[in-house]
């Protein structure tokens, strides 16, 4: 798949008509960046209309060994050229699936509460492929209420980890907790495909060490319902305890 073909497909997915204002978003994020510690995560403000990175955090260099100004100058085309060729089509399918879900299933008023996650492999500054988990929260929308400006966080993991290309969409509920509304695996090999969206939320909160009672409160369901989900999860994933489940997922073998 050529760079121009990727660009054309990407523009179709994110085709927009209004011109957003970025100044207030960029200004506040730039203020915070110098105070953030170096770690395995960097963030950008993405502009899907201009195919550009309006801001790139300083951690890019520490995470990937790439130059911040070079990425801003090269834009998304430079980023795409570093993606693993076997992941490109699946990545585009993931983006298209998320966009179709948002436009068809999420009402206009709720789109600002959404958060989107997907993954792929990327070549770092040492020309070695690493895994990237990207989480993007919309900041601004076009005239048709399509997300066009996003705050994107990129977590870098070892390239030795075998990860399926997956995508998920979560919505912030009235208890200020994210609930999974969409999940799809684009590599078609994931054992956890049989896990429901609600079960994914229970797993995520278990990994954060919440009790069944706390999970019930966050997801507005009963304590008994949480316990039922826990039993079903362990049966589906063929594990005998919550500790075994968490240990399996911490190995990044599954993308929940």
Contact 128, 85 (CB under 8 A): no
Tens place of pLDDT per residue across the chain (256 aa) = 777 788 888 888 887 776 666 666 667 667 767 766 666 889 999 999 889 999 999 999 999 999 999 999 999 999 999 999 999 999 999 999 999 999 899 998 899 899 999 999 999 999 999 999 999 999 888 888 888 899 999 999 999 888 888 999 999 898 888 899 999 888 765 555 578 889 889 888 888 888 999 999 999 999 999 999 888 888 887 777 878 877 776 655 455 6
Residue (of 228, 226, 18) closest to 141 by Cα position: 18
Q: Do 226 and 216 meet the contact criterion of CB atoms below 8 Å apart?
A: yes
Domain 3-189 belongs to what architecture?
Answer: 2-Layer Sandwich (3.30)
DSSP annotation of 239 reads -
The answer to whether 161 and 41 are in contact (CB under 8 A) is no
Domains of the chain, by residue range, sit at 3-189, 190-256
Which CATH number applies to 190-256: 1.10.10.10, 1.10.3720.10, 3.40.50.150, 3.40.50.720? 1.10.10.10
Q: What is the pTM of this model?
A: 0.80
Distance CA 51, CA 11 (A): 8
């Amino acid at each position: 798949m050529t760079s121009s073909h990727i660009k054309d497909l990407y523009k179709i997915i994110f085709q927009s008509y209004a011109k957003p204002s970025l100044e207030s978003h960029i200004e506040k994020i730039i203020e915070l960046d110098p105070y953030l510690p170096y770690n395995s995560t960097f963030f950008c403000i993405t502009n899907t209309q201009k195919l550009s990175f309006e801001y790139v955090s300083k951690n890019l260099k520490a995470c990937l060994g790439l130059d911040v100004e070079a990425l801003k100058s090269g834009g998304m085309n430079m980023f795409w050229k570093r993606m693993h060729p076997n992941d490109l089509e699946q990545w585009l399918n993931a983006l298209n699936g998320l966009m179709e879900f948002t436009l068809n299933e999420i009402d206009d008023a709720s789109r600002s509460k959404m958060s989107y996650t997907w993954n792929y492999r990327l070549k770092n500054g040492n020309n070695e492929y690493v895994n990237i988990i990207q989480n993007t929260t919309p900041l601004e929308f076009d005239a048709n209420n399509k997300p066009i400006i996003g705050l994107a966080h990129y977590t870098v993991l070892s390239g030795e980890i075998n990860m399926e290309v997956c995508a998920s969409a979560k919505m912030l509920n009235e208890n200020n907790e994210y609930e999974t509304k969409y999940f799809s695996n684009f590599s078609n090999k994931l054992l956890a495909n049989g896990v429901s969206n609600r079960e994914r939320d229970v797993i995520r909160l278990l990994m954060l060490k919440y009790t069944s009672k706390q999970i019930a409160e966050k997801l507005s369901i009963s304590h008994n319902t949480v316990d039922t989900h826990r039993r079903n999860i362990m049966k589906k994933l063929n594990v005998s305890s919550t500790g075994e489940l968490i240990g399996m997922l911490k190995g990044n073998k599954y993308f929940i």
